[in-house]
């Protein structure tokens, strides 16, 4: 069985139930296999050889960090490497890599063009089958070296797991500074690993619920609260242009784009009642979708735009409901005890993430789109606001420790890879962007041959 297919099936099984299987040791000229013990995925041992050339070691270090954080890979310590001086012109000395247990070998190099741009090439080999898994060359400016590292990580992740990567993406969130009585929060954007944070607002407003447009990744929406107003804004990350969607009779909450980017669903608190509305961004026409007494909020579109999941306390406690995008067919889907909030529909369409409160703890969980198959992925003193990575494999959320600060965390769908996100500051309300190159890329790409047999 090819490794990428095996990893994909392992991941699917791990999501559904624990699995025990006999450990298998890779042998020469045989496919690499992954060990599962009591439902725990044993990460693949990968040797990431420091790249040669300008920013070469920086690039390989970012790739190693990305792969390790995914939970599928365990980069080997470079001090264990036997072979030195690998160049793109040569294949590895395979026995020297199998001797140290490397199940994959990544190496590359960087050359600088006369105009200052970088050509970054890499090769990924299976040392047991002694064949090349993939090779690429990217061409970009020197300032883009970190993006190149993320794109290399995506190529490796997809080749080895069979799923799309998520590393060449960004996260938008609300960063926090100051004390409880004098708190400043600002709309902030950073690379998915926390690097290159940029403040988009100045701290003179309270920022809530930022979200990306999935069809136009440079477009975001969020709520800003001032002394005498609450407004939904559209913000273009490329131009810096900010546009208000108008004045509403009541406080606005939780805007979310439809996946085609043509609509925004949100809530308005008015007269002691909170209901879900949808605005068509082309005509600016507003339609009210719910009218029950109580709180209906946090709408999230399904990927195909046909349905909306939202939170409602109309039954006495907050539960998750689904309705058609025109407001018809409203029905509850959450079935367990506790309080359900902050639903977020997976980009793959099959799952809904949520926050659940019960038993004195807060949890991040997922359920099938019909409410079945509920699973808790993470629980702690306090956590909220899950949002999906673009490949639908990971969820980011905000977590607070008792007496501590609120930080950004991630968890994978198995619930076994839980870690603090790369951003080191305080933050809430995270939202993950789509992959940055869904449209035409500004990075030149050449792909090499895959010589490993199926």
Residue 13: predicted pLDDT = 31
Torsion of CA 268, 269, 271, 275, to 10 degrees: 60
Residue 21: predicted pLDDT = 25
Residue 445: predicted pLDDT = 64
**Token pair 């002394």 is at which residue?**
227
Residue 18: predicted pLDDT = 30
C-alpha span between 431 and 101 (Å, rounded): 38
Residue 198: predicted pLDDT = 95
Domains and CATH numbers, the chain: 44-161 (3.40.50.10070), 169-435 (2.120.10.30)
Burial status of residue 52 (CB atoms within 10 A of its CB: 0-12, 13-18, 19 or more): middle
C-alpha span between 446 and 424 (Å, rounded): 35
Residue 127: predicted pLDDT = 96
Structure token pair of residue 171: 């996260």
Please give the span between the terminal C-alpha atoms of the chain, in angstroms, as a whole number: 8
Phi first, then psi, for residue 346 (nearest 5°) are -65, 145
C-alpha span between 75 and 238 (Å, rounded): 35
- The residues near 197 (Cβ < 8 Å, ≥ 6 apart) are 175, 188, 189, 190, 423, 425
Contact 173, 181 (CB under 8 A): no
pLDDT in tens, the chain (454 residues): 333 333 333 333 333 333 222 223 333 333 333 333 335 568 999 999 999 999 999 999 999 999 999 999 999 999 999 998 889 988 999 999 999 999 999 999 999 999 999 999 999 999 999 999 999 999 999 999 999 999 999 999 999 999 999 999 999 999 998 777 778 899 999 999 999 999 999 999 999 999 999 988 899 999 999 888 999 999 999 999 999 999 998 999 999 999 999 999 999 999 889 999 999 999 999 999 999 888 999 999 999 999 999 999 998 899 999 999 999 999 999 988 899 999 999 999 999 999 999 999 999 999 999 999 999 999 999 999 999 999 999 999 999 988 889 999 999 999 999 999 988 899 999 999 999 975 435 566 666 667 787 6
C-alpha span between 448 and 416 (Å, rounded): 34
Per-residue CA distances from 388 to 31, 318, 424, 434 (Å): 32, 22, 20, 10
- The residues near 106 (Cβ < 8 Å, ≥ 6 apart) are 46, 47, 48, 49, 60, 63, 122, 123, 124, 125, 156
Residue 448: predicted pLDDT = 65
Torsion of CA 332, 349, 357, 221, to 10 degrees: -100
Structure token pair of residue 341: 């909030």
Note every long-range contact of 33-42, with CB atoms under 8 Å and residues 24 or more positions apart, other chains counting.
33/1, 33/3, 33/6, 34/3, 34/6, 34/7, 34/10, 36/10, 39/14, 40/416, 41/10, 41/11, 41/14, 41/71, 41/72, 41/414, 41/416
Burial status of residue 157 (CB atoms within 10 A of its CB: 0-12, 13-18, 19 or more): buried
Q: How far is CA 440 from the centre of its chain?
A: 21
Contact 366, 378 (CB under 8 A): no
Q: What angle do CA 159, 162, 166 make, to 5 degrees?
A: 80
């Amino acid at each position: 069985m090819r490794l990428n297919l095996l990893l994909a099936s392992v991941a699917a099984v791990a999501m559904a139930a624990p699995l025990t299987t006999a450990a298998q040791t890779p042998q020469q000229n045989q496919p690499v296999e992954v060990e599962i013990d009591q439902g725990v995925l044993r990460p693949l041992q990968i040797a990431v050889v420091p790249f040669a050339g300008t920013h070469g070691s920086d690039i390989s270090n970012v790739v190693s960090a990305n792969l390790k954080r995914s939970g599928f890979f365990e980069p080997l310590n470079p001090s264990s490497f036997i072979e030195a001086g690998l160049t793109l012109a040569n294949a590895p000395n395979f026995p020297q890599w199998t001797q140290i247990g490397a199940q994959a070998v990544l190496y590359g190099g960087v050359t600088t063009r006369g105009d200052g741009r970088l050509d970054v090439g890499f090769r990924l080999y299976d040392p047991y089958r002694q064949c090349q898994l993939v090779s690429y060359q990217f061409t970009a400016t020197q300032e883009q070296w970190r993006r190149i590292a993320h794109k290399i990580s995506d190529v490796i992740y997809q080749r080895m797991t069979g799923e799309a990567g998520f590393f060449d993406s960004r996260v938008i969130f609300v960063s926090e500074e100051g004390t409880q009585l004098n708190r400043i929060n600002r709309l902030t954007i950073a690379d998915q690993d926390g690097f290159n944070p940029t403040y988009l607002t100045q701290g003179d407003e309270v920022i809530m619920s930022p979200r990306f447009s999935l069809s136009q990744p440079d477009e975001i929406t969020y709520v800003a609260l001032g002394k005498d107003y609450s407004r939904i804004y559209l913000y273009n990350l490329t131009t810096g242009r900010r546009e208000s969607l108008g004045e509403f009779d009541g406080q606005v909450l939780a805007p979310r784009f439809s996946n085609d980017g043509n609509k925004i669903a949100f809530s308005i608190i008015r007269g002691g009642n909170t209901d879900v509305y949808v605005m068509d961004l082309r005509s600016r026409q507003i339609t009210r979708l719910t009218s029950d007494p109580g709180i209906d909020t946090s709408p999230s579109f399904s990927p195909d735009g046909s349905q909306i999941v939202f939170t409602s306390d109309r039954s006495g406690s907050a539960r998750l409901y689904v309705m058609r995008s025109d407001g018809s067919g409203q029905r509850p889907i959450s079935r367990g005890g506790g309080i359900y909030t902050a639903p977020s529909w997976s980009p793959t369409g099959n799952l809904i993430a949520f926050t659940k409160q019960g038993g004195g703890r807060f949890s991040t969980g997922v359920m099938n789109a019909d409410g079945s198959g509920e699973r808790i992925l993470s629980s702690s003193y306090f956590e909220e606001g899950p949002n999906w990575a673009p490949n639908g494999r990971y969820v980011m959320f905000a977590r607070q420790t008792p007496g501590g600060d609120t930080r950004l965390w991630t968890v994978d769908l198995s619930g076994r890879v839980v870690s603090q996100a790369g951003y080191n500051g305080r933050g809430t309300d995270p939202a993950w962007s789509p992959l940055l190159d869904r449209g035409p890329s500004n990075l030149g790409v050449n792909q090499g041959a895959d010589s490993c047999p199926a």
